[in-house]
Amino acid sequence: MEMPAKEIQNRLLGWYDQNKRDLPWRVSTHPYSVWISEIMAQQTRIATLLPYYERFIKRFPTVFDLAAAPEDDVLKAWEGLGYYSRARNLRNAAQRIVSEWSGIIPDTKKELLSLPGIGDYTAGAILSIAYEVPMPAVDGNVLRIFSRLTNSDKDVAQPQTKELAKQFVASVLPSTRVGCFTQALMELGALICVPKNPQCVACPLEPLCRAKQCGRQSKLPIKSAKHKKETISQTLFIICTSDGRIVMRKRSEKLLNGLWEFYRVEGCFDEEAVTEHLNELGYMVSSITSMGKSKHVFTHIIWEMEGFFCEVCEQHAPSGYDLFKPSELKNLAIPTAIRKYTELYL
């Protein structure tokens, strides 16, 4: 597995200096900026997260602002990015950083790992990029580069393979420009050493790539198959009371915790079944309008949904639900999964 570290460093850093993207968190590499960007980049493409990052930083420019913000404000600022536990963890970690480290983001791996939402990769990214600590940061991009560069048949979904990749990165880290080297690896995986059809002709490491030498670059990395996701049918009731308010509830479940949703039940309902269910809730129905079908894919499950706009004669909400004026919905953090129905209504 031993490879020419100095040549890798020179080739990769030279390429990075010429080809790196102009990203806002690369301007100062402040620990707060690096931390926020790395958390946002989990499960989200850079091109997608850029406007969210800029709005989030504008809304919460310092760790003190984030720590002091109500959870609903943080979730609203995160709306559309998904995986909302990331936002809650950011706020909780910010509160600890303020209370335990006077607002200074820790510069040791042990302390960073003690914060919610920060794992091995994120700790390595913060330490190397923000603090120039020679610490490997191995994400999916780096695992892919490792597999191809070393022509490895190891399953990248296994922890042992990630450990091997960390050892490899540690062996080629430079003594200076550590942060640039870490970002160069990430950039190479995002722009050149991509999952399908890697752009080998433009890769600075192509002469050293053992998979390319064997013609196996498109077959690597090896990754075990994912489990098939469970599909769940859902029916959404957008219940509008006689005074024009909408029935909503704040979720307490682990999935989409803290976000707001319409009245929802599992299963497929037609208009007759919707009317019957509303009657059981104590409503007399004025009209029901189908709002169409929608599908949302989560990490482990798929929601297949159909929404109905239901006008009722009463002015109350079922137990556990609240009533909101349409104008107030814009201030609620509503998950992407049901945003289609919010947009159709508003």
CATH 3.90.79.10 occupies which residues in the chain?
Answer: 230-345
The maximal CA–CA distance of the chain, rounded, in angstroms, is: 76
304 annotated active-site: no
Residue 345: the pLDDT is: 65
Q: Which CATH number fits domain 5-214: 3.40.50.300, 3.40.190.10, 1.10.3720.10, 1.10.340.30?
A: 1.10.340.30
CB within 8 A of 328, min separation 6: which ones? none
Instruction: Report how far residue 307's alpha carbon sits from residue 295's, in angstroms, rounded to the nearest whole number.
Output: 11
* pLDDT beyond 80 at 174: yes
* pLDDT beyond 80 at 140: yes
Residue 227: the pLDDT is: 80
Strands 246-250 and 260-266 turn out to be antiparallel
Q: Which CATH number fits domain 230-345: 3.40.190.10, 3.90.79.10, 3.40.50.720, 3.30.70.20?
A: 3.90.79.10
For residue 68 the two structure tokens come to: 């002091």
> pTM to 2 decimals?
0.83
State the DSSP code for 176: S
pLDDT in tens, 48-71: 999 999 999 999 999 999 999 999
pLDDT in tens, 293-340: 999 998 889 999 999 999 999 999 999 999 999 989 888 999 988 888
Task: Give DSSP secondary structure letters for 218-275.
Answer: TT-SB-PPPPPPEEEEEEEEEEE-TTS-EEEEE--SSTTTT-EEEEEEES---HHHHH
Find the catalytic residue in 38, 206, 261, 306. 38
Type of residue at 202? A
CB within 8 A of 53, min separation 6: which ones? 24, 25, 36, 37, 40
**Of 3, 7, 2, 14, residue with least CA distance to 180:** 14
pLDDT in tens, 198-252: 999 999 999 999 999 999 999 999 988 778 889 999 999 999 999 999 999 999 9
Percent of residues, the chain, with pLDDT higher than 70: 99
Residue 219: the pLDDT is: 93
CATH 1.10.340.30 occupies which residues in the chain?
Answer: 5-214
CB within 8 A of 337, min separation 6: which ones? 256, 296, 298, 303, 305
187 within 8 A of 20, measured Cβ to Cβ? yes
